[in-house]
A = this chain, B = another copy of it.
Amino acid sequence: MRQAQYKISIATRGKGIVEFTREVKRWVEGQGIATGLLTLYCRHTSASLLIQENADPDVQTDLLNFFEEIAPENRPYVHDTEGPDDMPAHIRAALTQTSLSIPVVKGAPALGTWQGIYLFEHRSAPHTREVVVHLLGE
């Protein structure tokens, strides 16, 4: 049984979701681990992780609109010193994922046909986000 770790830096352009499935797959494939467990961990409280459909970009538009409406910027928040987009960002992060666990089968993450791995940026300004990737198996 072996372990490997890796830190991915993801540059975002402000609010939106950024797919990084290919980078994760390539890294896993390079580790020579046939069977195992892959963990992704987002080191932020105003960005999060998401498994979503990677076929139709319209899905992403609707998702973003939904999260804009469910936790809108124009609500009165107590915590507003970091800008109107900050508290909604924390709420949207709480509603999605900080960590994801994906079994590795035959040397690759067991993603479904239409599943992509996304970093969900909740702040308006571009940021560099860190995702820690952990792999365990043999």
Contact = CB atoms under 8 A, between A and B. Distances in A.
Contact of A90 (B59, B97, B110, B134): B59
Interface stretch (A8-16, A19-27, A34-42): A34-42
Interface string A80-94: 010000010011011
Number of copies: 3
A66 B50 CA distance: 21
A5 B52 CA distance: 23
Determine chain A's interface SS by DSSP, over half rule: mixed
Given A1-B1, A59-B90, A90-B63, A52 B41 contact: no
Contacts of A78: 58, 61-62
24 contacts: A1-B3, A37-B39, A41-B102, A41-B103, A42-B112, A43-B113, A43-B115, A45-B112, A56-B81, A58-B78, A58-B79, A61-B79, A62-B79, A62-B91, A63-B91, A70-B70, A94-B95, A94-B96, A95-B95, A95-B96, A100-B101, A101-B101, A103-B134, A136-B136
Interface of A: 1, 3, 5, 35-37, 39, 41-46, 50-53, 56, 58-59, 61-63, 66, 70-71, 77-79, 81, 87, 90-91, 93-103, 105, 110-115, 130, 132-134, 136-138
